[in-house]
Amino acid sequence: GALEEAMRDFQAERVRLASGPPGERPPVEVLRRQSQVLALAESARMAEITTDIAVHGHPTEPAVPRRLFWYAELSKPRLWARRVTGNVTFRSVLFQNALRTALGLAAARAVAGSLDLSHGFWVLLAVLTLGRTTAGATWRAVRLAVAGNAAGALVAGALLIGLGPHTDAYAALLAPVMLVAFALGPLLGIAYAQGLFTLVVATAFAQIEPVTWRLSEARMIDVVTGSVIGLLCGLLAWPAGARREVHRAMAELLRVCAELVPVTAQALLTPAGGSRAGPQALPDSSRAAGPRTLPGVHRLRLAEAAYTQYRTEAPGEDTRTDWHAMLIVANHMLLGAHWLPRFGLRPEAGASAPAAAWARTTAEDLVAETDRIASELTGGAPRPVPRWTAPDGPPPTPLSVDLEVWMTSLAHQLTRIDSSLAPPQGPVVAPVTPSRRRTAPPG
């Protein structure tokens, strides 16, 4: 595309200036700012390709690197198959939720059949509507639902006793009761929704066959039975929801993506080959070209799903942990592993021994720090003292400026993540706003 061509022209000009006489070469700070501009342009190029695929269903121009846009060449059945098989693991919160729901429905069907409950489908419906991703949330939903159904059962029983067999009265009430139940129920909360739905059931069933107040009793028994089954499934199958899984998913994501840092650093330490026409392009037409980032992408999807569910649940004790920063640094590692070998500015004669040693040592330190953070997320060894910090000052030259900027950015992001994992020093006091009202603590 035009943006990629402009990026190559820009990088070719950088190569020309960096390869000129020592007195005419741009300062290192200028090269660093140019590297940041190039990184922003690469992000825009990624967004351009992604939007193109989303609008047209396929890329109208070659989507490179192919390993990053692998989904653009697959058919919808293969994409669905990839998505399903990718989530068939106990480390997927989607699989956990599906398994919990399936167990609840199977248990509800077995109990309703063995106890010969009338209108047993209400048991299954209660399991579906009251089940939550955490045991605590399920218990809160069950309490409200049982209270709402109890109130609705009393009103419905009084209605059935008062109107008796007059089906015309039930027919006249059904439409307004349904309107109120389905319009206001979700807005007022689960207790009101369950109580109003009990009234809908009573007015509807009374028109089909003669019923008595025992219909309200049957619904109450079914709802309580389904609530107990759903609560037991919530207690037995991942009761903490995504709170623990987000720790494991983020730890695995960081470990897998960190392996790309030394590989990318080694790729940019090789000589540029004496070419001054532009950056070296990898043979991306081959599926074997480029780093193996598919495992990292898979871990990223699992971590994103776990983080999304975690944000919908009640906050726990680790609200200071910057989960979003972990997703950002993983994305940064994945994207850098792709675009740096294609566009990264390399020393023409290869990196000097001190520069190469600095790059390899920094890459190894980044991997070690990432692994330490991952171990801390999963309750591993205690925090070592002193902790790793990013190297001070500029690295030895000549070295790829793009590699230096990338690894320095990763170091800063890991430092931020590490600080969010550290326990707060003293009590956390919420800041006071200009209106003299305290806000929530950070995190």
| Mean per-residue pLDDT, 426-437 | 45
3-state secondary structure of 169: helix
**Residue 345 falls within a domain, yes or no?**
yes
Q: Are residues 134 and 228 in the same domain?
A: yes
Contact assessment for residue 72 and residue 63, using Cβ atoms and an 8 Å cutoff = yes
Model confidence pLDDT, tens digit, residues 152-172: 999 999 998 988 888 899 999
Report whether pLDDT(113) > 80.
Answer: yes
- Which pLDDT value is given to residue 397? 54
Q: Are residues 207 and 248 in the same domain?
A: no
Contact assessment for residue 434 and residue 339, using Cβ atoms and an 8 Å cutoff = no
- Which pLDDT value is given to residue 275? 41
Report whether pLDDT(440) > 80.
Answer: no
- Which pLDDT value is given to residue 381? 60
Q: Are residues 104 and 232 in the same domain?
A: yes
**Residue 79 falls within a domain, yes or no?**
no
- Which pLDDT value is given to residue 349? 66
Q: What is the DSSP letter of 347?
A: -
- Compute CA 10 distance to the chain's CA centroid, rounded to the nearest angstrom: 35
Report whether pLDDT(432) > 50.
Answer: no
Q: Are residues 225 and 255 in the same domain?
A: no
Q: Are residues 259 and 365 in the same domain?
A: yes
**Residue 116 falls within a domain, yes or no?**
yes
Contact assessment for residue 265 and residue 360, using Cβ atoms and an 8 Å cutoff = yes
The chain-wide mean pLDDT, for the chain, equals: 84
**Residue 439 falls within a domain, yes or no?**
no
Distances (CA, A) of 271 to 28, 197, 398, 431: 19, 72, 11, 53
The better pLDDT of the pair 69, 140 is held by 140
Q: Are residues 270 and 323 in the same domain?
A: yes
Q: Are residues 101 and 179 in the same domain?
A: yes
Domain boundary among 236, 261, 279: 236
Q: Are residues 114 and 205 in the same domain?
A: yes
- CA-to-CA distance for 303 and 71, rounded, in angstroms? 19
Place of tokens 């871990």: 299
- Which pLDDT value is given to residue 442? 37
- CA-to-CA distance for 244 and 139, rounded, in angstroms? 19
Q: Are residues 265 and 231 in the same domain?
A: no
**Residue 78 falls within a domain, yes or no?**
no
**Residue 428 falls within a domain, yes or no?**
no
Domain count, the chain: 2
Q: Are residues 231 and 195 in the same domain?
A: yes
Task: Give per-residue burial for 154-178: e unless 16+ CB within 10 Å, then b.
Answer: eebbebbeebeeeeebbeebbeebb
Q: Are residues 230 and 159 in the same domain?
A: yes
What lies within 8 Å, CB to CB, of 114 at 6+ separation is none
- Which pLDDT value is given to residue 288? 40
Contact assessment for residue 355 and residue 28, using Cβ atoms and an 8 Å cutoff = no
Residue 117 backbone phi and psi in degrees, to 5: -75, 135
| Domain extent for 181 | 94-236
Structure tokens at 324: 């979003």
Task: Give per-residue burial for 208-245: e unless 16+ CB within 10 Å, then b.
Answer: eeebeeebbebbbbbbbbbbbbbbebbeebbbebbbbb
- Which pLDDT value is given to residue 287? 42
- CA-to-CA distance for 44 and 53, rounded, in angstroms? 14
Q: Are residues 185 and 100 in the same domain?
A: yes
